[in-house]
Amino acid sequence: MSHDVFWQAQFHLLNLIWRGVLLREFSMSRWKTWQRYLSIPIAFVSVLIMSFLFTCPHCQTSTQVDDCYSGHEGACVTCGKAIQIPDFESSGEQRAKRSQKYSLPMFLSIGFFVVILICLGFLVVRTGGDTMQRMATNRARAESSSNLQKIAAALNAYARDHGTYPPPVVTMGANAHSWRILILPYLNENALYDRYDFQQPWTSDVNMGVAYSIPAVFRNPNQNQNGSFSSSVASHYFLITGKGTLFPSSGPLAPDQIRDDAGQTLLLVEAQTPDHVGSYWTSPKDIDMSTLQASSFGDLGGILEEGFAFATVDEKAQFMPDSTDPLVIRAIITANGGERLPSDVFD
């Protein structure tokens, strides 16, 4: 085997190994990223092996032929007839110079360079992937915090005007309506509020027209759920109702009835739409405390990774990790439980 043929075989083998290993070890998305890093060394190595277009004089089939076969005889791969590959190099002296140019030390240097590029590629992909993940997580939490703070401010504004927080369920005769409708004017959604008819069921044609126009503040923009239309009009923000909460069955509390620390008392929470809650943001249902306790508070969250977001009475958005003790979660949900929590419980 000639010097050129040997190195050509090595380069083709190296190319196949790179692609085969990466395709096996990484997903297609990561392979596309790796291709950007590996295309440079592969192209750099490949340029050392020139190829020429040769046309068979018998069947007129054109084939790319590597220059290491220049001057050789053989059979056409299409018609099988004997052919003579032209000598693409002008002289044996140039061939000798080329062989000397691509010496073993040079190829070892190239190999070392390629290994360095691969190592750098690993570092960039890993570090870049972690950084992008952190950025996406921080962005999702920031958007959750923004929505929670706006809704908490609207709930407090309603409480200042009416003496108590809004009832979770607004009853008008035989019709029930959601607290979210009551706070629309405090979210600058006066036009939507005026379209809603409290004298009709929330499922009436008129009120369903409002249900189809969900304000952006009631949904986390990073949450697509199953992509169906019904999921696109469901709220991600709920009150927690029941004994010991801000919204007991006897009626909502007033801000001055809360004895626990306002900065450690939950006002509303971000969560996936529970199975028992209607698919529309106008549905007059929320999350019951007894149901939460039965599930060890597992119904909370589902929007953010590794925990859930919520707003406290002082209108601050907080994040609670999944690893939090259920007793701590229960303590922040109760309004007058008297639990003593550390000042840095949310840090």
141: in domain: no
58: in domain: yes
- In terms of domains, do 37 and 110 share one? yes
112: in domain: yes
Dist CA 336 CA 258 (whole Å): 6
The pLDDT of residue 138:
73
> What is the average per-residue pLDDT within 194-204?
96
- In terms of domains, do 125 and 164 share one? no
Are the C-beta atoms of 312 and 267 separated by less than 8 Å? Answer: yes
Dist CA 231 CA 280 (whole Å): 8
- In terms of domains, do 201 and 305 share one? yes
pLDDT beyond 60 at 197: yes
pLDDT beyond 70 at 127: no
3-state secondary structure the chain: CCHHHHHHHHHHHHHHHHHHHHHHHCCHHHHHHHHHHHHHHHHHHHCCCCEEEEECCCCCCEEEEEHHHCCCEEECCCCCCEEECCCCCCCHHHHHHHHHHCCHHHHHHHHHHHHHHHHHHHHHHHHHHHHHHHHHHHHHHHHHHHHHHHHHHHHHHHHHHHCCCCCCEEEECCEEEEHHHHCHHHHCCHHHHHHCCCCCCCCCHHHHHHHCCCCHHHCCCCCCCCCCHHHHCCCCEECEECCCCCECCCCCCCHHHCCCCHHHCEEEEEECCCCCCCCCCCCCCCEEHHHHHHCCCCCCECCCCCEEEEEECCCCEEEEECCCCHHHHHHHHCCCCCCCCCCCCCC
- In terms of domains, do 126 and 168 share one? no
Domain that holds residue 21: 3-131
Q: How far is CA 181 from the centre of its chain?
A: 31
The number of C-alpha atoms within 13 Å of 223 and in the hemisphere containing its C-beta is 25
pLDDT beyond 60 at 274: no
pLDDT beyond 90 at 105: no
> What is the average per-residue pLDDT within 5-25?
48
The pLDDT of residue 132:
62
pLDDT beyond 70 at 133: no
- Beta pairing partners, 83: 74
> What is the average per-residue pLDDT within 92-97?
52
pLDDT beyond 70 at 190: yes
74: in domain: yes
Last residue of a domain, one of 131, 164, 199: 131
- In terms of domains, do 123 and 174 share one? no
Predicted confidence band of residue 275 (pLDDT cuts 50, 70, 90):
low
- In terms of domains, do 124 and 192 share one? no
The pLDDT of residue 165:
98
- In terms of domains, do 16 and 159 share one? no
- In terms of domains, do 214 and 263 share one? yes
State the average pLDDT for the chain: 78
Percent of the chain with pLDDT over 70: 68
Predicted confidence band of residue 61 (pLDDT cuts 50, 70, 90):
confident
Domains identified in the chain, total number? 2
206: in domain: yes
- In terms of domains, do 225 and 123 share one? no
Predicted confidence band of residue 343 (pLDDT cuts 50, 70, 90):
confident
- In terms of domains, do 168 and 123 share one? no
Higher pLDDT, 252 or 102: 252
288: in domain: yes
Predicted confidence band of residue 101 (pLDDT cuts 50, 70, 90):
low
342: in domain: no
224: in domain: yes
Percent of the chain with pLDDT over 90: 39
- In terms of domains, do 183 and 321 share one? yes
- In terms of domains, do 182 and 329 share one? yes
Dist CA 1 CA 168 (whole Å): 85
